[in-house]
Structure 1
Amino acid sequence: MKNKYSCIFSFNWNPPALLFLLLISISLFSQTPKDSIETCEVKSLPDLFKKKDSLLTIKSQINKTSFFLVIPIIGSSPATGFLYGGVAQYTFKGKNAKDKYSSFNVGATYTTNEQLLVNIKNNLLLNHNKIYLSGDWRYYIFSQNNYGLGTDIIPSFKEDSDFVLESLAEPMNYNYFKFHQTVSFNVVSDFYIGAGIHLDGYTDIFDKQLDVTNNLFTAHYEYSNHYGFNTFEYYVNGLSLNTVFDSRDNQVNANNGWYGNINYRINPAFGKNQASSSVLFTEFKYYIPLSEKNLQHVLAFWTYGQFLTHGNLPYLNLPSIGWDKTSRGGRGYTQGLFRGQDLVYMETEYRFPITCNQLISGTVFANFTTASDKDRQVKLFNAIQPAFGIGLRILIDKSTKTNLILNQAWGKHSKAFYLNAGETF
């Protein structure tokens, strides 16, 4: 719930959310200078609430090497009800000029549906960029709707204009523990090689719509029975080989460079309720600066794919939208909507300035998702689900270029609003 990690929540677009965006826009536009970017003094949100800095203070802020951010979380969604909590993010770098920023994020959320979501994530470049750590740790007391496998579950508008997404929903409760951590070492330039440990556990699984006595089965129950998984708990534990290439100028808010990650995970059947499998994960990001004078003009690309290359995975561990490390994929669709043995996601985003002082900027984006279901012979790209959206970005720290981000996204028969700290990708 996330560079770049932080809280994320989604809910149906409503007047309070629209008013919130409108008020922010009015207040920030009232601060907008009309000069060119070359003559504007960069301002962040905290600058609006304090006296004008001296030149010495401004210089020290720009050159600082760390930033600590705490954000309260208040919101609501059909899946969670009312939710509240907080997230803390620490961004830092070494004192050498070539050292890159690292980030460590801790968040906890509780909902009126009695869900507890605890996230700890790290993206760390240590020892002057020689050691690269990437971690995703979670503990969820969770409930979520499942919708079956493949991206063909949503019909086109022409096929069924009256289609309601929630008609597919199969509610489920479960507890989830995740510990994914990789450590990679610099080999040459921006290239790293390493390994990782990956532990996933799903317990106390409860299918709310399942009624075996009356032959009312859910997608999770049928899949689990077909592949021999316990329907109440299962585990996926493994080791991985990991390669990373990262030439981005800033992990928190990149203006240029590449990021690539290839991770091959082997999951042996160590104990009960486990099955052997192997999974290939690939991820690529590319950032193109579109202006030499204003670095806020950026065209960004993000794609990742997760592929089951051997054996079988339990249902909840299959590749699924919104379950990437940052929980940012699939804007416009609810988490877990698209799931399959293989999944490919692609997104492009144009980031642009709105105010001369870089306090507020905007974005437009589009994405698509495709997932397979081998049991129904639905292959990747047989069905593609697109989405698009717009967003506002408010600068909250000048040195790290950390933004507060508000996004509204629309998918097919779906829409969602998001609040993040740090770029989506």
Structure 2
Amino acid sequence: MKFFLSIFIILFVSTRLYAQQSPVPIKRIPVHRNGIVKDTIRIDTLERQPKVPLSKQEDIGDALSKLFHSKPTPAVDSITSKPEISIAPAIGYTLLSKFALVISGNAIFKTAPQSRISTIIASTSYTQNKQFTLPIQTNIWSKDNTYNFVGEYQYFKYPQSTYGLGSNSNIKNEDPMDYSFFKFYQTVQRHVVGNLYAGLGFIFDSHWNISDKGNRNGTADDYTTYGKHSHTVASGLTFNMVLDSRDNAINPFKGGYAALQYRDNYEFFGSSMPWRSLILDVRKYIRFPENSDNVLAFWNYDWLILSGKPGYLDLPSTQWDGNTATGRGYIQGRFRGAQMVYAEAEYRFKITRNGLLGGVVFLNGESFSAAPGTSLQRIQPGYGPGLRLKLNKTSNTNITIDYGFGRQGSNGLFIDIGEAF
């Protein structure tokens, strides 16, 4: 483990060093989840004022510069209309993928001098459990920031077990599955007022070559009861609203975030069956104590099937949220059902005054119903500690190393870039 962790840190440090060779440092970075680039982050409007001045904080690049007598991390500079391109390797780790080898790249630019930073991000990964992913993500701002064009396009070859429906499901009822997955999401959001944006999108999910082996312990599996299909398609329109007052979307010190997505899938758009869903994502960040750089963070994520019967793999599930971050302490896909209610609290604190090393403690709880029309079942808790190693002090980005615990013997290591929420 120490050997692989050393490689992980060195490879991500190599990403930073590569970026510093460019005359303009990276302002948008990919956040890796399960070896997949899942989100892009805006840091061009960083407003936080840390207790320790930025010039006195340190990250991995500063530590290496002292060791090798090289230049320290540069300050944030302006991005132009000429794309800045960076490519680098990385390593991640989760309970589902085990170790994941990743090659990721991004292009950053501005459509006009006063526009927010636009990004195009792509990566490819292969995991220890023979999973292959190829995601591409775009986030393009118009010249006057009136419109934001957000796209997500992914291909997965993804062996993954399921454990039945509902949060009362037993971990012993493991049903190994395999499938291929393609998604195409495109959204156009328009500025409404202040920090509020709203818009429409087209969304398409296709699962094919779906197979399973049945429960290993010989019991009847919920996948068969729910309804097996070798191929399912979910295609329709979304309505989206986002209100974001965070001072830094990567690792906030204060502010809040609220997002709503209403999804309606239609058969005339190619869906296997019609169904509707609603996702609510609310986050709040508070300095605690008020005059410190420590943060108390709260997260509520509710994913609800409003009507219809989605394909089994389209149902809400642990760590299948947009950032694949829910339910630390459990393997991805551990719980699945028609309704998902999730809450988490995390306390983030400094260990060293210069910010190079920090820590967290977290507690979460999730409740799922089984098939559509059934009630929510028991709350399943997850909890644990974590370490934070400052990857970039300017963007406040950390290498995150968490160890989570859940019920029925669930526990494991989670290594990532960027906070869970």
Letter matched to residue 313 of structure 1: P
SS at match of 1:151: coil
- Report if aligned partners of 2:89, 2:103 keep a CA contact under 8 Å in 1: yes
C-alpha distance in structure 2 between counterparts of 1:414 and 1:63, whole Å: 42
SS at match of 2:333: coil
In structure 1, what is the equivalent of residue 193 of structure 2? 188
| 2:142 is the alignment partner of 1:117 | no
C-alpha distance in structure 2 between counterparts of 1:149 and 1:128, whole Å: 46
Q: Name the CA shift for 1:343/1:333 in 2 (closer, same or farther; >3 Å).
A: same
| 2:372 is the alignment partner of 1:414 | no
- Report if aligned partners of 1:224, 1:315 keep a CA contact under 8 Å in 2: yes
Q: Name the CA shift for 1:174/1:90 in 2 (closer, same or farther; >3 Å).
A: same
In structure 1, what is the equivalent of residue 153 of structure 2? 137
In structure 2, what is the equivalent of residue 72 of structure 1? 90
Q: Name the CA shift for 1:329/1:266 in 2 (closer, same or farther; >3 Å).
A: same
- Report if aligned partners of 2:349, 2:358 keep a CA contact under 8 Å in 1: yes
Q: How many residues align?
A: 371
| 2:355 is the alignment partner of 1:340 | no
Letter matched to residue 90 of structure 2: P
Tell me the TM-score normalized by structure 1: 0.77
C-alpha distance in structure 1 between counterparts of 2:92 and 2:326, whole Å: 21
In structure 2, what is the equivalent of residue 7 of structure 1? 32
C-alpha distance in structure 2 between counterparts of 1:113 and 1:39, whole Å: 41
| 2:221 is the alignment partner of 1:221 | no
- Report if aligned partners of 2:386, 2:402 keep a CA contact under 8 Å in 1: yes
CA deviation map 1:359-397 (0-9, x unaligned): 11111111011110247x7512x3100011111111111
In structure 1, what is the equivalent of residue 39 of structure 2? none
Could you tell me how far 1:196 is from its partner in structure 2?
A: 1.0
C-alpha distance in structure 1 between counterparts of 2:283 and 2:209, whole Å: 37
C-alpha distance in structure 2 between counterparts of 1:130 and 1:123, whole Å: 13
SS at match of 1:202: strand
CA deviation map 1:179-228 (0-9, x unaligned): 223221111001111011111000001112389xxx98532222116xxx
In structure 2, what is the equivalent of residue 403 of structure 1? 398
Could you tell me how far 1:312 is from its partner in structure 2?
A: 1.2
Higher relative contact order (CA 8 A, sep 6+): 1
Could you tell me how far 1:306 is from its partner in structure 2?
A: 1.1
In structure 2, what is the equivalent of residue 175 of structure 1? 180
C-alpha distance in structure 2 between counterparts of 1:52 and 1:420, whole Å: 25
- Report if aligned partners of 2:116, 2:141 keep a CA contact under 8 Å in 1: yes
Could you tell me how far 1:124 is from its partner in structure 2?
A: 5.9
SS at match of 1:388: strand
C-alpha distance in structure 1 between counterparts of 2:311 and 2:338, whole Å: 10
Could you tell me how far 1:270 is from its partner in structure 2?
A: 2.6
CA deviation map 1:52-88 (0-9, x unaligned): 999xx87x923335796844226585x5466423344
Q: Name the CA shift for 1:262/1:82 in 2 (closer, same or farther; >3 Å).
A: closer
Q: Could you tell me which runs of 5 or more consecutive residues in structure 1 were left unpaired when the two chains were aligned.
A: 11-35, 155-164, 226-230
